[in-house]
Structure 1
C-alpha cells in the first residue's frame, strides 16, 4: 500500500522529496527505480524506540515542510488467539497502534497548514472479529484516534484521514496466513486493488473527509456493523467462515 501511495502522491503533488520508511532496505531502494522524485530511504523497525530517535534526528537536521504523512505499516494474523506467541501479539500491537501515534508525534512539528496525516485503519475496526481479534482491535484504535485527532488539529489547518479498506491484494496475506496450515478464513467475498483504494483515499483527503471507504461491499458491510448488534454480526462472520468457537483451531 505504501508503494502505491508513493506512486500516486508523486503524480498528484509536486514534492521535492519522498521519505520512505520500512525494515527492508532493499525494498525501499527499489522505489528509486520507479519514482522520479528524489527518495530518502530510512530502513527502520518501527517497533523499536531507537528508530524514532533516528527519525527525529533526521527531521531536526533537514527541517522539511511535510505535506503528507502516510502511516501504512501494520500486520495481522488469521488464527486462533492461543496459537499466537506473546511476542507476535506485542509486535502487532506496537506496530499497528503505538508506531502510528509515535510517528505522528515525531513528524507533527514539521507539518503546516494544509498538511495531511493519512492513517491506515480497516473495515475490521468497526467490529470485534474472532480469529482476527488483535488486528481488528488495533484498527479500531487507529480509526478512533484518527477521527478525534482530525478535530484537535483543525486549529492548525492540518487534516487527518483514516482509510478503512476491505480485503486488499497486498502482502498482508503472506504474513497473516501460516503456510502449510489449513486457513482459518476461507471466504473473502471481494479482494480490491490497492491502486483503486489509494485513488479514492487521495480524493477523500483533498475533500477533508475523516474516513475513506472504497467499494460497495465494504460500505454495505460497515453499514451492517453500525446498525446490527455485534453479537449477531459475529455469528454471521463465524457462519460465513464455517468457524465454531467451541473448538480450538490448531
Structure 2
C-alpha cells in the first residue's frame, strides 16, 4: 500500500503538500493526514477524495501528545504501508523576545518543531524503501540566528541540520531527504506567531502554492535543501560567507526593530 503522510495538513504549507503530492506520486493508495483541526481535515479529505480518488486516513491529534504516536505505530504495524513520502509540515513560531515569552511557549516550539518531527521520522523509517522521500519543513530562519524569534530560529536550524545529516545516513538505502527553507509565506502561521518584523520581510511574503511546487520540484531532483525565491537564496549565501559579527548585527536590525 503506497502511502504519503503529511503533518500540519489542515492549513498552510502542510495542506498544500497534501493537495500537490498526488501529482508527484500518481500511484498512491492512501494519504494519512495529521493535524489538530478535525473539521479542516474532513474538508480536505473530501476535496482530495473527489479530485484524486485517493483514500485519506485522518489523525486529528496534537503531535505534542504521546497518544498520536501510539495510534500511528499501531496502524503502521497493522497495515505495513510502503511510505513513499513523509512530510513533516507541522510547526509553530513566536515572534517575540525570549524575555517576553512564557517558558511553555518556548519549550512548546521545541517540542513540536524538533521533538515531534524527529519522533515521527524515526517511527516511519522502517516502512520507507528505495526511492522514498522525507520532506522536513525548515525555514530561511535556519540560516542565521534570529533575535526576536530566537527559539523558533534555533528549532529550524535543528531541522535543517538534522535533515542534511539524515540524508547522508540514508543515502545507501536510496531514501532522499529535503529540508524546505522558505522565507515568509502567506499562511495562518503569522496569526499565532505574530507578523514578521520589518516592512522588507512583509514584502517578501510568498504564496504557499508556489513554495510547495518549488519544493516538490527540488524533491524530485533529490536536492537536500529547497529555497524559494532569489532573496532567500541570497540570504543563504550571505549567511555562509559573512563573518558572524556582521551577520548578528544585520539580523538584529532586521528582526528586533519592531519588537523593542
**TM-score with structure 1 length normalisation?**
0.92
Does residue 70 (structure 1) correspond to residue 87 (structure 2)? The answer is yes
Q: CA deviation at 1:184?
A: 7.1
Question: Among 227, 233, 238, which residue is 1:219 paired with?
Answer: 233
Between the two proteins, the alignment pairs up a number of residues equal to 241
Structure 1 residue aligned with 2:252 = 238
Are residues 40 and 242 of structure 1, via their aligned partners in 2, closer, same or farther at CA, if it must alter by over 3 Å?
closer
- Kept in 1, the 8 Å contact 2:146–2:255? The answer is no
Whole-angstrom distance in 2 between the partners of 1:157 and 1:238? 40
- Kept in 2, the 8 Å contact 1:79–1:184? The answer is no
Whole-angstrom distance in 1 between the partners of 2:237 and 2:196? 25
Superposed CA offset, 1:186-242 (max 9, x none): 321401111111111111111111111110111111111111123212322333456
RMSD: 1.6
- Unpaired runs of 5+ in structure 2? 1-12
- Aligned with 2:64: secondary structure? coil
- Kept in 1, the 8 Å contact 2:147–2:255? The answer is no
Are residues 242 and 124 of structure 1, via their aligned partners in 2, closer, same or farther at CA, if it must alter by over 3 Å?
closer
Whole-angstrom distance in 1 between the partners of 2:256 and 2:134? 38
Superposed CA offset, 1:55-89 (max 9, x none): 10011111111100000111110011111111111
Question: Among 86, 101, 108, which residue is 1:84 paired with?
Answer: 101
Does residue 50 (structure 1) correspond to residue 62 (structure 2)? The answer is no
- Kept in 1, the 8 Å contact 2:177–2:224? The answer is yes
- Unpaired runs of 5+ in structure 1? 178-182
Does residue 130 (structure 1) correspond to residue 144 (structure 2)? The answer is no
- Aligned with 1:34: secondary structure? helix
Does residue 191 (structure 1) correspond to residue 205 (structure 2)? The answer is yes
Structure 2 residue aligned with 1:205 = 219
- Kept in 2, the 8 Å contact 1:4–1:195? The answer is yes
Whole-angstrom distance in 2 between the partners of 1:68 and 1:97? 19
- Kept in 2, the 8 Å contact 1:4–1:194? The answer is yes
Structure 2 residue aligned with 1:117 = 134
